[in-house]
Amino acid sequence: NDYIEAGCDVILTNTFGANRFKLEKYGLSNKIYEINLAGAKIALETAGENIYVLGCVGPCLNEGESLTIENIDKLKENYEIQIKALKDGGVDGIIMETFHNMEELEISAEIVKKYNLPLIACLACKKEKETLSGLKVKDAVKRLNDNPNIDAVGMNCIIGPHAMLSLLEDVVNLTLKPFVVEPNAGNPQNVDGRMIYMSTPEYFATYAQNYIRLGARGVGGCCGTKSKHI
């Protein structure tokens, strides 16, 4: 509710890690459908009639992990269950966040389109202008632009407002699709044993204006972003 009151047009379901690979650690891998369905329904109830709800889906593969013969069928089955649950829960579309393996992103995008849902595909990128898997962001964005299953391209997490602006300048004109950016609230600092995000709402807002001037069609926030930033 705080984020809606702050002016959000779109909120996300709390289902980023609700996949088989993550839930297995907690003995909940048989609850993928139920957890994603509940996440969608909770978000829809909170949003009301005027706010869009996107089903949030994160990667199954860990950073540096590749698709293999052993895990690809399990991965596909997971996305089938997740996307169906979010669709059944009533979401307006899907946002795939913090992805680093392009093959995994493309497989999941194909499944999303089977359910006729709009899709925003967001990459996790480093300030060195590469994805976490080492692919140049320019090349990754061109690949997403050419994928007919993806409706909008984005970048989220890992970096703060300044690094995100530099990346956006490089890639926003490489696609005709709407571009979405969701930086972290700066880089976290260790303060008395706690990791604190240091970007103020005013600092964050200044960069948000610059994203829009460059052509971003959607602006939000990732880790450390509070309702005041929005």
Residue 68 has pLDDT above 80, yes or no: yes
Structure tokens at 148: 């007919």
Q: Are 211 and 202 in contact (CB under 8 A)?
A: no
Reduced to 3 states, what is the DSSP secondary structure of residue 119? Answer: strand
DSSP string across 154-195 = EEESSS-HHHHHHHHHHHGGG-SS-EEEE--SS-EEEETTEE
Cα–Cα dist 87/194, whole Å? 37
Residue 64 has pLDDT above 80, yes or no: no
CA dihedral of residues 27, 29, 30, 33 (deg, nearest 10): 130
Cα–Cα dist 107/150, whole Å? 11
CA within 13 Å, CB half, 88: 12
Q: What is the reported pLDDT for 128? A: 92
Q: Tell me the angle at which helices 102-114 and 69-88 cross, rounded to the nearest 10 degrees.
A: 40
Q: Are 118 and 160 in contact (CB under 8 A)?
A: no
Cα–Cα dist 53/193, whole Å? 35
Mean pLDDT of 89-114: 96
Residue 70 has pLDDT above 90, yes or no: no
Structure tokens at 163: 């690094």
Q: Are 115 and 87 in contact (CB under 8 A)?
A: yes
pTM: 0.94
CB-based burial, 42-54: b 16+ in 10 Å, e otherwise: ebbeebeeebebb
Mean pLDDT of 105-126: 96
Residue 190 has pLDDT above 80, yes or no: no
Q: Are 106 and 75 in contact (CB under 8 A)?
A: no
Residue 100 has pLDDT above 90, yes or no: yes
Non-local (6+) Cβ contacts of 204 within 8 A are: 161, 183, 185, 221, 225, 229
- State percent of the chain over pLDDT 70: 100
